[in-house]
Amino acid sequence: MKSSPRPKNHSPVRAFTLIELLVVIAIIAILAGMLLPALSRAKEKGKQTKCLSNMRNVGLSMAMYLVDFNKYPGHYLVPAGEIVYPPRLLPGLAGSLQVWNCPSEKPRFYYTNQVDRVTGAEGGPMKLTPSTGFCYGYNDWGGINEFTKPYQGLGADITPNGKEPWQKEVRESQVRAPSDMITVADSRSDAQWDTAIDPADRAATGQEAAEWPSRRHSGGANFSFADGHSEYGDQDKMVSREPEVRRRWNADNLPHLDLSPR
């Protein structure tokens, strides 16, 4: 005689309560809140590293330019109304415009090729003017006030046959300590003389001056030096009147604090 099959023992399925679900969601939100800032900082650190590499390439191109011409490329060619140091350094960068674009800055400030609005054809590098958006600025006046002697920059307002020292490209021999002389740095991009960096530029208390180096990399900027190396610097420190900092902006490697009374 066959026995009847034993009934299966079905355990009741326990569902999460609303409170338990809310607790789990809250825990996930807390963990996300802890992780996202760390991921954001890591992403920005990667951009800062890429920018530092850009600065190093610019510095090496500057060193190559000095070998060829024995003088610095200068900043602004007055008769043409054009910023000239990026195009003059392009041969040493294999013509790459991308090197001039900080990955932490907005694309509207990037250096690009000209594009024909009718045909869409791509031409040569865009002409740079004082109102062109840009990512990196040139140490054009040094660490002293503009139009002040002794001039300590690297060629600010290039003017053929000009008599003033800032109207000429600075000779390589005039820079006393190349490893301690700033040439290019992250600029405060706003399409107003983005291509210039002036630590002596005046600012209201608690404000940034228009031509200070940027603070887009965790409160500071990347800097390229005349010997080709690059390094990071906090904005507050790099525009300070500390003698050991201010001398790094000047061709004779002296602070000249009396010539920038800010």
Residue 25, in any domain of the structure: no
Predicted TM-score (pTM) of this structure: 0.83
Amino acid, single-letter form, for residue 146: E
Residue 45, in any domain of the structure: no
Q: In terms of residue numbers, what domain contains 156?
A: 69-259
Spatial CA neighbour of 115 closest among 125, 106, 105, 107:
125
Q: Please tell me the predicted confidence (pLDDT) of residue 1.
A: 53
CA–CA dist 139, 135 (Å, integer): 14
Chain CA centroid to CA 212, Å: 11
Residue 148, in any domain of the structure: yes
Residue identified by tokens 């003389």 is 193
Q: Please tell me the predicted confidence (pLDDT) of residue 206.
A: 82
Describe the chain by its helix, strand, coil percentages, rounded to 5: 35, 15, 50
99-127 pLDDT, tens digit per residue, is 999 999 999 999 999 877 777 777 889 99
Residue 38, in any domain of the structure: no
Q: How many domains does the chain have?
A: 1
Residue 14, in any domain of the structure: no
DSSP 12: P
Q: What is the mean pLDDT of the chain?
A: 91
173-188 pLDDT, tens digit per residue, is 999 999 999 999 999 9
Pairing of strands 220-225, 230-234: antiparallel
Residue 186, in any domain of the structure: yes
Q: CB burial class (10 A; 0-12, 13-18, 19+) of residue 163?
A: exposed
CA distances from 245 to 100, 188, 208, 210 (A): 25, 19, 18, 19
Residue 249, in any domain of the structure: yes
CA–CA dist 169, 160 (Å, integer): 10
Averaged pLDDT for residues 49-72: 96
75-93 pLDDT, tens digit per residue, is 999 999 999 999 999 999 9
Residue 172, in any domain of the structure: yes
Q: Please tell me the predicted confidence (pLDDT) of residue 241.
A: 94
